[in-house]
Structure 1
Amino acid sequence: MRLVRLPGVYRPQGDTGLLAEALLDAGLRPGSAVLDVGTGTGALAIAAARAGAGRVLAVDVSRRAVLAARLNTALRGLPVRVARTDVLRHELLERFDVIVSNPPYVPAPEPTVPTRGRARAWDAGRDGRALLDRLCALAPALLHPRGTLLLVHSALSDVDTTLRRLRGSRLAASVVARRRQEFGPVLRGRTALLEDRGLIAPGQREEELVVVRGERPAD
Structure 2
Amino acid sequence: MEIGCGSGYIITSLALILKSESNSHSPHFFATDVNPHATNVTRETLEAHGVHAEILTTNITSGLEKRLAGMVDVMVVNPPYVPTPEEEVGGGGLSAAWAGGENGRSVIDRILLVADNLLSDRGWLYMLFLAANDPLQICLEMRDKGYGAKIVVQRSTEEETLHVIKFWREFDGQLEGNEAGSTPKSAPQRGWDFIFSQISRFRETK
Q: TM-score, normalised by structure 1?
A: 0.68
| Residue 64, structure 1, aligned to residue 24, structure 2 | no
CA shift, 1:115, in A, is 2.2
Q: Secondary structure at the match of 1:105?
A: coil
Question: Could you tell me how far apart the structure 2 residues matched to 1:75 and 1:101 are?
Answer: 22
Match of 1:80 in 2: 53
Please identify runs of 4+ aligned residues in structure 1 that moved more than 6 A: none
Question: Could you tell me how far apart the structure 1 residues matched to 2:66 and 2:13 are?
Answer: 22
Question: Could you tell me how far apart the structure 1 residues matched to 2:62 and 2:109 are?
Answer: 12
For the 8 Å contact 2:88–2:95, the answer to whether it is kept is: no
| Residue 37, structure 1, aligned to residue 3, structure 2 | yes
Q: TM-score, normalised by structure 2?
A: 0.72
CA shift, 1:49, in A, is 0.9
Q: Secondary structure at the match of 1:99?
A: strand
Question: Could you tell me how far apart the structure 2 residues matched to 1:159 and 1:88 are?
Answer: 23
Unaligned runs of 5+ in 2: 20-26, 173-206
Match of 1:214 in 2: 167
Question: Could you tell me how far apart the structure 1 residues matched to 2:45 and 2:31 are?
Answer: 12
Return closer, same or farther for 1:179/1:109 CA change in 2, 3 Å cut-off. Answer: same
Q: Higher helix share goes to which structure?
A: 2
Give the number of equivalent residue pairs.
162
Question: Could you tell me how far apart the structure 1 residues matched to 2:123 and 2:37 are?
Answer: 30
1:126-205, aligned counterparts within 5 Å? 126-182=102-158
Return closer, same or farther for 1:171/1:56 CA change in 2, 3 Å cut-off. Answer: same
CA shift, 1:89, in A, is 4.7
Unaligned runs of 5+ in 1: 1-34, 183-205
